[in-house]
């Protein structure tokens, strides 16, 4: 590509492709950009909730409910056909796409029948089945661009060059192979003025078996392509104006964050912000490629720009950027003087959680070593508590439960066990204050906790990572909105 022409990688999310109206709006954005920029690559998510519906069809078929599974597939087919009818005017092109879509749905029905007979599906087959969501939306989008007289070419992620290991469900790209293939496939198309239209979320192994990239997979597709081609910018088109300083359902005067660093975006994604998954952001961060989040339905708004801290205005050191919160979590506390100085205690805890497939959202351990607190998802508390009782409270398993703290249930055993007490709280939330400007700034933590204290809120647990851009703490659910509002007013709104 000539140095005078910028290369953009644009990813359109499910809400930007939900129906005919949304597809036409997204296609018009591509048309507008193509008039000014020679190098453009488009990445498409599945239409609306298609992936969720495909997964539901799998579950129904596994239960032997083939009738409702096939009904769901018919509904998906009708939705795609309706979108095609209103987006592609050329009769020949529409018929070609219609036939292509019909063939894909015949495949889906055959797979469903096999699932219902076996009452099971392998991870490999599941990836293949779910991949149809992106294939269908991308084919329709490509046909729509052709109908607008734009030169474009449909490619699956694998055809474009994204090559992964065989970890079906959340495959890991093989970096060197992927980069080489993406360059050799996409650069010639860009030189010819063709817009590659690539399926997000899906890739393939070296043996050409379909894989999926897991959460944030379409974003990951976009950044992998951008990194391989040294693109100038990634634009993620969605249904909001950008990343907000707080949840607008809690804070009515929440602001759009104009610029944030890669690390801030990664932290904020954990709190439900419309930011990218850390894994998806990594390829762009590694190459220093800016990522912009924009609203498909308000395309002139500048949105949020994600870039390296050094590239930001004032190095990005502008204090606290956002206040995030996370509900549906719980705290499990395990304690006992007998664990003090006992090597391997934490390892044992992690091993149990790994076996259960449970992730830790926050962890805190007292300096005295006699207490470990873990924050996990609320719906996983019961199985974790059962496992901890079984594995860590080795004696008195048949002893009756005794009253623990007010906020949880306790189990006490004799003093010579590793842990003498286990309790939990299932009515808590995490609140976090986020911002690169907190690094090395004295007094931030003091202001955070005094602001919360002034609201009469008791903090149950505190954690701060070594990056210093996130102070997280646990409070009761009933206090969440009050804490978020007070902190937003203290740090962001003023």
The 10s digit of each residue's pLDDT in 151-180 is 999 999 999 999 999 999 999 999 999 999
With a CB cutoff of 8 Å and minimum separation 6, the contacts of 326 are 270, 271, 272, 361, 429, 430, 432
The whole-number pLDDT of residue 421 equals 84
Q: Which residue has the higher pLDDT, 299 or 38?
A: 299
Residue 438 confidence (pLDDT): 81
**pLDDT > 60? residue 410:** no
User: Is pLDDT at 4 greater than 60 in this prediction?
Assistant: no
Task: Report the share of the chain in percent with pLDDT over 70.
Answer: 88
> pLDDT band at residue 399, thresholds of 50, 70 and 90?
very low
Sign of the dihedral defined by the CA atoms of residues 193, 199, 202, 204, in that order: negative
| CB neighbourhood size of 340 (10 A) | 12
CB count within 10 Å of CB 128 equals 20
Residue range 79-138, pLDDT digits in tens? 999 999 999 998 899 999 999 999 999 999 999 999 999 999 999 999 999 999 999 999
Q: Supply the mean pLDDT for the chain.
A: 89
- In the predicted model, is pLDDT for residue 400 greater than 90? no
Cβ neighbour number for residue 421 with a 10 Å cutoff: 19
pLDDT band at residue 38, thresholds of 50, 70 and 90? confident
Query: Using 50, 70 and 90 to split pLDDT, how confident is the model at 276?
Result: confident
At 267, the pLDDT band (50, 70, 90 cuts) reads confident
Confidence band of 335 (pLDDT split at 50, 70, 90): confident
In sequence order, the 6+-apart residues with CB closer than 8 A to the CB of 314 are none
Q: What is the pLDDT of residue 102?
A: 96
Backbone torsions φ then ψ of 196, nearest 5 degrees = -70, 130
Q: Which of 146-150, 151-155, 394-398 has the lowest mean pLDDT?
A: 394-398
Q: For 423-452, b where at least 16 C-beta lie within 10 A, e where not — what string?
A: bbbbebbbbbbbbbbbeeeeebbeebeebb
Q: Position of tokens 């104006």? A: 241
Question: Comparing C-alpha atoms, which of 236, 219, 235 is closest to residue 283?
Answer: 219
pLDDT over 80 at 287, yes or no: yes
Helix (H) or strand (E) holding 27: helix 20-34
Of residues 382, 354, 376, 378, the one with CA closest to residue 363: 376
Please report which confidence band the pLDDT of residue 58 belongs to, taking 50, 70 and 90 as the band edges: very high
393 within 8 A of 419, measured Cβ to Cβ: yes
Q: What is the pLDDT of residues 454-487, one digit of tens each?
A: 999 999 999 876 567 889 999 999 999 999 999 9
What is the structure's pLDDT at 340? Answer: 56
pLDDT band at 190 (very low <50, low <70, confident <90, very high): very high
pLDDT band at 345 (very low <50, low <70, confident <90, very high): confident
Locate tokens 């606290």: which residue? 320
* pLDDT reading at 394 higher than 60: no
**Residue of higher predicted confidence among 444 and 416:** 444
**Domains of the chain by start residue, with CATH:** 7-239 (3.40.1160.10), 317-494 (3.30.2130.10)
DSSP β-bridge partners for residue 424: 332
Neighbours of 412 (CB within 10 A): 19
* Between 392 and 5, the higher pLDDT residue: 392
Vertex 485 angle, CA 483 and 486, to 5°:
65
Helices (H), 339-443: 345-356, 381-392
How far apart, in Å, do the first and last CA atoms of the chain sit?
Answer: 46
pLDDT at position 465:
66
Region 327-335 average pLDDT: 92
Task: Collect all residues with Cβ–Cβ distance below 8 Å to 57 and sequence separation of at least 6.
Answer: 69, 72, 73, 108, 112
What tokens does 417 get?
């066990």
Q: How confident is the model at residue 260 (pLDDT cuts 50, 70, 90)?
A: very high
What lies within 8 Å, CB to CB, of 67 at 6+ separation is none
User: Residue 268 — pLDDT band, cuts 50, 70, 90?
Assistant: confident
Instruction: Write the pLDDT tens digit of every residue in 42-56.
Output: 999 999 999 999 999
pLDDT confidence tier of residue 428, bands split at 50, 70 and 90 = very high
Report how far residue 306's alpha carbon sits from residue 323's, in angstroms, rounded to the nearest whole number. 17
Lowest mean pLDDT among 122-131, 243-252, 344-353, 390-399: 390-399
| CB-based contact 484:491 (threshold 8 Å) | no
What tokens appear for 442 in the block? Answer: 């004295």
Average pLDDT over residues 253-267: 91
Three-state DSSP state, 193: coil
CB 141 within 8 A of CB 237: no
What backbone torsions phi and psi does residue 408 show, to the nearest 5 degrees? -155, -170
Please enumerate in sequence order all residues whose Cβ is within 8 A of that of 103, keeping only pairs 6 or more positions apart, or say none.
none
CB count within 10 Å of CB 253 equals: 12
Segment among 10-19, 371-380, 461-470 with least mean pLDDT: 461-470
State mean pLDDT over 390-398: 62
In angstroms, the CA 406 to CA 280 distance is: 41
pLDDT at 337 over 80: no
**pLDDT tens, 288-322?**
999 999 999 999 999 999 998 776 655 545 578 99
Average pLDDT on 190-199 reads: 97
The pLDDT of 412-418, averaged and rounded, is 43
Comparing 400 with 28, the larger pLDDT belongs to 28
CB 45 within 8 A of CB 79: no
């Amino acid at each position: 590509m000539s140095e005078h022409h910028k290369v953009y990688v644009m990813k359109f999310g499910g809400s930007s492709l939900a129906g005919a109206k949304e597809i036409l709006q997204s296609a018009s954005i591509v048309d507008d950009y193509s008039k000014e920029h020679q190098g453009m690559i488009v990445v498409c998510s599945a239409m609306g909730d298609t992936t969720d519906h495909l997964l539901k069809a799998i579950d129904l078929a596994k239960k032997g409910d083939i009738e409702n599974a096939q009904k769901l597939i018919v509904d998906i087919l009708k939705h795609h056909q309706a979108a095609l009818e209103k987006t592609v005017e050329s009769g020949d092109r529409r018929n070609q796409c219609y036939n292509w879509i019909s063939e894909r749905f015949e495949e889906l029905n055959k797979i469903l029948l096999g699932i219902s007979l076996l009452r099971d599906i392998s991870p490999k087959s599941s990836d293949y089945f779910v991949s149809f969501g992106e294939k269908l939306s991308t084919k329709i989008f490509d046909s729509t661009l052709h109908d607008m007289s734009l030169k474009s070419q449909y490619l699956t992620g694998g055809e474009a060059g994204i090559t992964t290991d065989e970890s079906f469900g959340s495959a890991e790209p093989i970096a060197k192979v992927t980069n080489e293939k993406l360059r050799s496939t996409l650069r010639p198309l860009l030189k010819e003025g063709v817009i590659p239209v690539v399926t997000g979320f899906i890739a393939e192994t070296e043996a050409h078996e379909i894989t999926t990239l897991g959460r944030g997979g379409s974003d990951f597709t976009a950044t992998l392509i951008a990194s391989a081609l040294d693109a100038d910018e990634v634009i993620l088109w969605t249904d909001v104006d950008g990343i907000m300083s707080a949840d607008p359902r809690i804070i009515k005067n929440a602001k759009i964050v104009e610029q944030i660093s890669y690390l801030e975006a990664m932290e904020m994604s954990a709190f439900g912000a419309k930011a990218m998954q850390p894994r998806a952001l990594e390829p762009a961060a590694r190459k220093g490629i800016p990522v912009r989040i924009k609203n498909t339905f308000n395309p002139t708004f500048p949105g949020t720009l994600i870039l390296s801290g050094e590239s930001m205005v004032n190095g990005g050191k502008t204090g606290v950027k956002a206040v995030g919160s996370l509900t549906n979590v719980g705290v499990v506390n395990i304690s006992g003087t007998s664990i003090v100085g006992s090597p391997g205690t934490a390892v044992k805890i992690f091993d149990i959680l790994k076996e259960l497939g449970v992730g830790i959202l926050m962890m805190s351990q007292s300096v005295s070593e006699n207490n470990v607190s873990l924050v996990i998802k609320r719906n996983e508390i019961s199985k974790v508590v059962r496992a901890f009782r079984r594995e860590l409270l080795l004696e008195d398993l048949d002893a009756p439960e005794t009253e623990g703290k007010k906020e949880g249930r306790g189990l006490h055993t004799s003093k010579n066990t590793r842990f003498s007490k286990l309790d939990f709280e299932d009515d808590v939330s995490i609140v976090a204050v986020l911002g690169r400007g907190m690094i090395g700034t004295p007094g931030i933590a003091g202001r955070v906790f005094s602001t919360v204290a002034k609201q009469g809120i008791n903090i149950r647990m505190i954690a701060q990572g070594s990056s210093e851009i996130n102070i997280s703490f646990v409070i009761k659910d009933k206090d969440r909105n009050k804490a978020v509002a007070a902190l937003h007013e203290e740090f962001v709104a003023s």
